[in-house]
Amino acid sequence: MGQLSPPRKESTVAERKPVAVVVGATGGIGRAVTMALSEEGYALCLSGRDEAALKSMAAGLPDATWWPVDLDDAVPDVPLDLPDVDVLVHCAGVFDSGTVYDMPESQWRQVFSVNLFGVVELTKKLLPRLRAARGRVVLVNSTVVRRSAAGRSAYAASKEALRVFAEALHQEELDRGIRVTTIYPGRVATQMQRTVRRGEGGPFEPSRYLTPETVAAAVLLVLATPPDGHLTEFVLKPAR
Ligand SMILES: NC(=O)c1ccc[n+]([C@@H]2O[C@H](COP(=O)([O-])OP(=O)(O)OC[C@H]3O[C@@H](n4cnc5c(N)ncnc54)[C@H](OP(=O)(O)O)[C@@H]3O)[C@@H](O)[C@H]2O)c1
């Protein structure tokens, strides 16, 4: 006689889908992260500045809303109907190049506004919902913080500041159950990398870069870490 399988437990309470907010959802990495999380069964809130693009992306997903935010401007209030947030992934960012001597202050301010101040403000606004869900925050940083920053001082400085922000947030929120992870990708085949390569005067060679999907896989890896562990940060370089 075969072994009897245990009776299936009937759930009386409908299980809540985990909720993820992806900032910069319309970008190369943001889009891949959005798709990966959707396939994992997350309900999504897509954030970014292009409302039409967010709306049309959301329409193609099984469970998604959108929250237009221009990180270079005041971050609007969180939509009232947004439930507790299990995962916040920061994928928005801008790149700018120029020497310290040449780059005007306005450019420095714009890079910091999007890559740091907007991220800080948006995270602050979501903290009550993240605390309620003991959520995770994943920040897409860059290996630029570990390399020469010549010719890209504003971008590198903003990413270094983002690293410190993540570290502080991690220490401050750990006892409330929030876990913060920074991922440092090398070159990724996106629009931003096209801009980087144009500035470097070299060809765009996607076969030598990470795909956005690989960065998304790294985000899933972070989220799959068992609760007794915490991937605080890691570097993800192209294998070629
Ligand atoms: N590509 C790389 O090689 C690479 C390497 C390491 C790290 N990163 C980092 O990865 C992140 C994503 O980059 P990506 O390669 O996916 O670049 P991307 O394709 O250019 O996407 C950038 C995203 O940021 C959004 N964004 C830009 N300015 C914004 C603003 N003021 N308010 C709100 N959203 C804004 C863009 O929205 P719009 O579509 O409206 O412009 C877009 O969704 C960035 O933080 C970048 O620094 C990239």
pLDDT of amino acid 1: 36
Residue 91 CA to ligand 1 center (angstroms) comes to 6
Kindly report, residue by residue over 83-118, the tens digit of the pLDDT.
999 999 999 999 999 999 999 999 999 999 999 999
Whether 153 is covered by a domain: the verdict is: yes
Query: What count of other Cβ atoms lies within 10 Å of the Cβ of residue 60?
Result: 9
Kindly report, residue by residue over 189-230, the tens digit of the pLDDT.
999 999 999 999 999 999 999 999 999 999 999 999 998 999
Whether 57 is covered by a domain: the verdict is: yes
Long-range contact pairs involving 53-61 (C-beta distance under 8 Å, separation at least 24) = 53/26, 54/25, 54/26, 57/25, 57/26, 57/31, 61/34
Which band of pLDDT confidence, cut at 50, 70 and 90, is reported for residue 5?
very low
Structural domain including 205 reads 19-236
CB of 192 shorter than 6 A to ligand 1: yes
Question: Which H or E run includes 45?
Answer: strand 43-48
CB of 145 shorter than 6 A to ligand 1: no
Whether 13 is covered by a domain: the verdict is: no
Please give the Cα distance from 186 to 147 (Å, whole number): 10
For the chain, the domain total comes to 1
CB of 185 shorter than 6 A to ligand 1: yes
Please give the Cα distance from 221 to 225 (Å, whole number): 7
CB of 121 shorter than 6 A to ligand 1: no
Whether 11 is covered by a domain: the verdict is: no
What is the CATH classification number for the domain harbouring 51?
3.40.50.720
pLDDT of amino acid 9: 44
pLDDT of amino acid 2: 40
pTM of the shown model:
0.94
Nearest atom within ligand 1 for CA of residue 114: 31
Please give the Cα distance from 9 to 11 (Å, whole number): 6
Give me the mean pLDDT over the 9-38 stretch.
Answer: 88
Tokens of 175: 């006892």
Its sign, for the CA torsion 227, 228, 232, 234, is negative
The secondary structure of residue 189, as a DSSP letter, is S
pLDDT of amino acid 135: 97
Whether 51 is covered by a domain: the verdict is: yes
Dihedral-angle region of residue 125 (phi above 0 means left; psi in -120 to 50 means alpha; beta otherwise): alpha
Tokens of 232: 């605080």
Whether 9 is covered by a domain: the verdict is: no
Whether 14 is covered by a domain: the verdict is: no
- Higher pLDDT: 7 or 49? It is 49
Please give the Cα distance from 110 to 118 (Å, whole number): 10
Nearest atom within ligand 1 for CA of residue 72: 31
pLDDT of amino acid 227: 87
pLDDT of amino acid 12: 52
Which band of pLDDT confidence, cut at 50, 70 and 90, is reported for residue 13?
low
Residue 13 CA to ligand 1 center (angstroms) comes to 39
CB of 18 shorter than 6 A to ligand 1: no
CB of 193 shorter than 6 A to ligand 1: yes
pLDDT of amino acid 16: 85
Please give the Cα distance from 178 to 131 (Å, whole number): 6
Indicate whether 58 pLDDT > 70: yes
Strand spans (E) along 73-187: 87-90, 136-140, 179-185
Residue 94 CA to ligand 1 center (angstroms) comes to 6
pLDDT of amino acid 161: 97
C-alpha closest to that of 18 among 89, 76, 79, 112: 89
Indicate whether 11 pLDDT > 60: no
Whether 2 is covered by a domain: the verdict is: no
Percent pLDDT > 70 in the chain is 94
Tokens of 29: 């990495």
